[in-house]
Structure 1
Amino acid sequence: MRLRTKHGITALLAATVLLAGQAAGVGTATAAAPCDYPAQQLDLTNWKVTLPTGSGTSPTEIEQPSLKTFAAKPWFQVNSKCTGIQFRAAVNGVTTSGSGYPRSELREMTDGGSEKASWSATSGTHTMVFREAFNHLPEDKSHLVGAQIHDGDDDVTVFRLEGTSLYITKGDDTHHKLVTSNYKLNTVFEGKFVVSGGQIKVYYNGVLQTTIAHTSSGNYFKAGAYTQANCSNSSPCDTTNYGQTTLYKLQVTHS
């Protein structure tokens, strides 16, 4: 068919594009909006999440591939501005058997999320860079962990906020390095852990804060909201009393 006018050519092209789109299924699928699931905000392929829900000492855990299309308001969801992932853990939340504190927290995995990450501090270089803000602290004991390195036994070093004081910890020394005594809630910062040659270098907004000797194996990264309060030391004992963070960036490399 010949079309002699400019409008006719335009109409033919439009019809061709429409038919091609229909053939490819364009406009027919019901894809999730980019604000529906946390995995749309950040690459969570090699992570699982532990939530402050469940029963007894068995909190809810979501692994891949379910994590790709999972959200749990208000514990683990895209934030209201659709710019990051909100993590919330109330003081009355379910805890793991190894802790008295609730968490909404990512745990590093490997092999597409099928295996738990476990690496040595003396072999290779292991880096996690994250951008995060502390949004809300529990009452009475206003302590909250936002990111950490854990080994086979315990936490090795974490970013821990106590009121307005932000610390980098070293084992049981919760006040190892004071980063700032004037942290304001909702302030976004960038943290970085670099583990190599039996040392952990910890950075805050690009500035080295401390170097920690560490030679253990079985290490992995964690990030989210690990509330350091529960119903024994914080009131009210309900879901209105919680710790919350928002994660805007999360990148892990191993070399």
Structure 2
Amino acid sequence: MRMMTFVSPGKAKKVGFALGLTALLTVSVMSLASAAPSIDYHIWSLQQPDGSTISSSQLVSGYSSKYFYTASDGGQAFMDPQTGSTTSGSSHPRSEMREQTTGGSNAAWSWTGTNTMTNTAAVTLQGGGSSGSTTIGQIFNSTDSIPLVELEYEATPNSKGGNFKLLYEEAKGAGTYTDLSTKAALGSKFTYEMSLSGGVATVKINGTQVFSKKPSFSGKTFYFKAGNYDQTATSGSVSTTPYTIVELYSVSVVHK
């Protein structure tokens, strides 16, 4: 979490003025605190659509760019343009965080423990028109370099009338999509939880479980991803024109 330092002025001589000033300062501090996204940047690196990777130490130091900045409502904005650089094995650019260890190396944890990521988010701009779809969270299989679970947001309601769909993939190229009925209008906040605990993958949206499956394999390692991995953006000359924007207001990762 980014920290702020507040220095208060000297004491006022008049009691009434001091009380009023104290109240004013308290409100100001609370307002500033509520505007800061609750994210522990120590355990994340950032992949950007211009091909750069930003380290956790840079994020902790307050890094920002055209693709990663604090939005006017206090959310951490992840902007993806319509075209940009792609990572290995992908045809889409991304503005997305990749989980790290507290020591700064790439996270790779076993599925046998308790591993949960809970985020409060909003998609404030969706590219791709009626076919637009953006991955906002992943449980990624680092052993096979494929996602196990991808949670995607669609501004246009899907076949079940909801705004989310889920990709589940145990083997490369053998993934299947499931439309979810949960609704979330463009620009509205929602909370999602992705978990791989005790060998079972689960997804919850706004506290309701929408998916659960026990993978048939074992002995693999995983990590979380969160942000904006637009599924209709393509490889090409990088742009700074917003195409899709995802905001994260809080990110919580628990491993036991």
Identify unmatched segments of 5+ residues in structure 2: 1-10, 13-31, 158-162
Shift of 1:74: 2.7
User: Which of residues 102, 120, 128 is equivalent to 2:93?
Assistant: 102
Q: Secondary structure at the match of 2:60?
A: helix
Post-superposition Cα deviations, 1:136-156, rounded to whole Å, max 9, x if no partner, equal 111344111111110122011
Q: CA separation in 2, counterparts of 1:246 and 1:210?
A: 23
Alpha-carbon RMSD across the aligned residues, in angstroms, is 2.7
Matched residue count: 212
Contact 2:139–2:224 (Cα < 8 Å) also in 1: yes
> Which residue of 1 is the match for residue 15 of structure 2?
none
Greater relative CO, 1 or 2 (CA 8 Å, sep 6+): 2
Shift of 1:86: 0.2
Contact 1:177–1:209 (Cα < 8 Å) also in 2: no
Identify unmatched segments of 5+ residues in structure 1: 1-12, 15-33, 54-58
Amino acid at match of 1:101: H
> 1:155-166, aligned counterparts within 5 Å?
155-162=147-154, 163-164=156-157, 165-166=163-164
Shift of 1:197: 2.1
> Which residue of 2 is the match for residue 10 of structure 1?
none
> 1:191-230, aligned counterparts within 5 Å?
191-214=192-215, 215=218, 217-230=220-233
Post-superposition Cα deviations, 1:145-196, rounded to whole Å, max 9, x if no partner, equal 111110122011121123333112212545324133x531011111112212
Q: CA separation in 1, counterparts of 2:43 and 2:233?
A: 29
Post-superposition Cα deviations, 1:110-152, rounded to whole Å, max 9, x if no partner, equal 034x11110121x211111111111111134411111111012
User: Which of residues 112, 117, 120 is equivalent to 1:128?
Assistant: 117
Q: Secondary structure at the match of 1:115?
A: coil
User: Which of residues 46, 62, 65 is equivalent to 2:57?
Assistant: 65
Amino acid at match of 1:49: L
- Please, what TM-score do these two structures have when normalized by structure 1? 0.74
User: Which of residues 147, 165, 168 is equivalent to 1:167?
Assistant: 165
Contact 1:91–1:101 (Cα < 8 Å) also in 2: no
> Which residue of 2 is the match for residue 24 of structure 1?
none
Contact 1:169–1:177 (Cα < 8 Å) also in 2: no
Q: 1:238 and 1:74, CA in 2 relative to 1: closer, same or farther beyond 3 A? A: closer
Q: CA separation in 2, counterparts of 1:47 and 1:231?
A: 24
Higher strand share: 1
Shift of 1:216: 5.1
- Please, what TM-score do these two structures have when normalized by structure 2? 0.74
Q: CA separation in 2, counterparts of 1:101 and 1:168?
A: 17
Q: Secondary structure at the match of 1:52?
A: coil
Contact 1:177–1:210 (Cα < 8 Å) also in 2: no
Q: CA separation in 1, counterparts of 2:84 and 2:128?
A: 15
Sequence identity percentage? 29
Q: 1:241 and 1:111, CA in 2 relative to 1: closer, same or farther beyond 3 A? A: closer
Does structure 1 residue 80 correspond to structure 2 residue 72? yes
Poorly superposed stretches of 4+, deviation over 4 Å? none
Q: 1:216 and 1:247, CA in 2 relative to 1: closer, same or farther beyond 3 A? A: farther
> Which residue of 2 is the match for residue 252 of structure 1?
253
> Which residue of 2 is the match for residue 26 of structure 1?
none
